[in-house]
Structure formats: structure tokens, C-alpha cells
Amino acid sequence: MKIDSQDRQGVRILSPKGKITIGEGDIALREAVQTALEDGARNMVINLEGTSTIDSSGIGELVSAFTSVKNRGGALKLVHLPPKVHDILQITQLVTVFEVYDNEDEALASFN
Amino acid sequence: MRRDDPHVHLELGSRLENIDLAQMVVEECLRRLELDEDTSHWVGIAVREAVANAIKHGNQEDPDKEVEVDFGVDGDELVIQVTDHGSGFELTQVNDPLAPENLLRPNGRGIFFMKSFMDAIDYNFDPEAGTRVTLRKRLTAPASGSADEEEER
């Protein structure tokens, strides 16, 4: 899985392309979040538009990322949830944890 | 796999990359059974979780230990069994991932996914045969199925 990374308005935006699943995408996402934190990024957005599949390990990695960013005084928000990813966040009740936005602009505006 | 005899048996080494293989095979079987795309996706995810648990927790990722996947249809039910060589676990000790204190735990959602996406799951623990999880899902009539086929369901 490939993860595009860019900074906009001081926010690190990560855009995974492919599957966030055990042994593959989950590790790539963990490394991308760790790199962002080491780079000093405080706030992050994960754009899930290109995420084709997510399993329990992938969900676990999103939760870990949320906690890591929050523990450093920042916030992690999600945008462009594909329907099946949205369904999983609902089933796991994590929609009550994550701030979810329709697009990156809305997510970025929410940090102000 | 034949439409009238859809049994498939897989023996997989305990390597994480085989989780994708199991999911792909099961989704192909479901496609041939003409299940709708959404149902196939969720059943595929449930199988993925069962095989992941078998490889990670059951067989401790020992590549010499196999995970067996059996796919079949029993009457109007899809039945998928995943067997590993683990010693099992205490189901009552599995945390509820929806409990407020567990919501932010990074793991412990695999069985919950299986329960959510299937109609029923059962575990069988045998000291010699290992651990087997049975996943069941009622089959719905294919959209293109004939009246005769639907009556048979």
C-alpha cells in the first residue's frame, strides 16, 4: 500500500491508497504516522478516499494513530470515508470517537 | 467449485500473506454462488478475521503449522470453518470492544467483526484437533435466479 503525504496549513495529510489490513497497510500507516510525529506534525488528517478495504487491524491502527496524536496535544481527523469504511466505524462505534469530514478543506477549517 | 457442489478445502501455511489468499478464494466462491457484492465483501472480511486469528493466535505464526479453511453450503446456509492447531481460549474472557473502556484499544475486534458480519459463529476447542471456528450465513436468492432455484432454497 502506498501513502501520499503532504502538509497543508500546518496539518499533515496522509492519503493511503489500497488496503489497510493486517501485515501490510496497517504497518505502512503506523510508519507514516510515526514519521509525521517525528517531523513535528501536531495535527493530522487521514484521507481514506483511496482505501479499498479495512479490517480489524486497520481499524486498530487508526485508533492507535488517534491516541498517539492526541497524547501529543494534537488532533487526528478523517475525511472521505468510503461507505464500507463508514459502516465499520459505525459498527465499532468509533464514529463517536473520530471527527469525520466530507473533504480536506472542511477538516482543515475545523482546526482553526 | 461446482454450483451444485460448492465445497472447497484450503490448507494454508501460517503466514500473514495467506490471509489475502483465503479471502480471495472465499469471495470467488461467493461470486459463483451469485451472492450480492456487499454480502460477499462482509463475509470475506469475516473469513479474513478468522484466518488472521488462526495464524496469529492459534498457530503463533509458525509457518510449519497449517490453517485449514473449509467452505461449503448446508441447505440454505453458507458454512465456513477455519481450523488451527492452537490450544484455544476462554470465550468469556474476550473483551467487549464496544465497552467504553475498550473503545480505544487497538486490538480485540476480530471476533466482534465475525459476529457482526455473519449470522452465527461457534467455536470448538479440542486439545488434539485444535481450535475450529464455524461461520454461518443464510444465503439469499440470487437476483437472476429462476423460480425453481428459489423454491429449492
User: A60 contacts in B (CB within 8 Å)?
Assistant: 105-107, 109
Tens of pLDDT along B82-94? 999 998 888 888 9
How, if at all, do strands A99-101 and B8-13 pair? Answer: unpaired
Q: What is the DSSP letter of B3?
A: T
Domain annotation for chain A: domains and CATH numbers: 2-110 (3.30.750.24)
Instruction: Supply the pLDDT for residue A24.
Output: 82
Average pLDDT score over chain B = 89
Whether A23 sits inside 8 A of B104 (CB atoms) is no
Instruction: Supply the pLDDT for residue B151.
Output: 43
Tens of pLDDT along B95-113? 999 999 999 999 999 999 9
How, if at all, do strands B120-126 and B77-84 pair? Answer: unpaired
Instruction: Indicate the pLDDT class of residue B127, thresholds 50, 70 and 90.
Output: confident
3-state helix, strand, coil in chain A (%, to 5): 45, 30, 25
Instruction: Supply the pLDDT for residue B47.
Output: 98
Per-residue confidence of chain A (112 residues) as pLDDT tens digits? 899 999 999 999 999 999 999 988 999 999 999 999 999 999 999 999 999 999 999 999 999 999 999 999 999 999 999 999 999 999 999 999 999 999 999 999 999 8
Min Cα distance A68 → chain B (Å) is 11
Min Cα distance A32 → chain B (Å) is 17
Sequence ranges of the domains in chain B: 8-152
Report CA B51 to chain centroid distance, whole Å: 7
Tens of pLDDT along B3-32? 566 799 999 999 999 999 999 999 999 999
Contact A81, A100 (CB under 8 A): yes
Instruction: Indicate the pLDDT class of residue B148, thresholds 50, 70 and 90.
Output: very low
Instruction: Supply the pLDDT for residue B3.
Output: 57
User: Strand, coil or helix: what is B24?
Assistant: helix
Whether A56 sits inside 8 A of B113 (CB atoms) is yes
Joined together, the cell numbers standing for residue B91 give 470465550
- Looking at the domain B8-152, which fold is it? Heat Shock Protein 90 (3.30.565)
Alpha-carbon separation of residue A65 from B43, B64, B135 (angstroms)? 27, 34, 31
Contact B78, B26 (CB under 8 A): no
pLDDT at B144 over 90: no
How, if at all, do strands B130-138 and B77-84 pair? Answer: antiparallel
Instruction: Indicate the pLDDT class of residue B1, thresholds 50, 70 and 90.
Output: low
Report CA B76 to chain centroid distance, whole Å: 17
By the CB < 8 Å criterion, does A35 face chain B?
A: no
Residue A23's contacts (CB-CB under 8 Å, 6 or more residues apart) are A57, B16, B17, B19
Whether A60 sits inside 8 A of B17 (CB atoms) is no
Report angle CA B107, B52, A79 to the nearest 5 degrees: 55
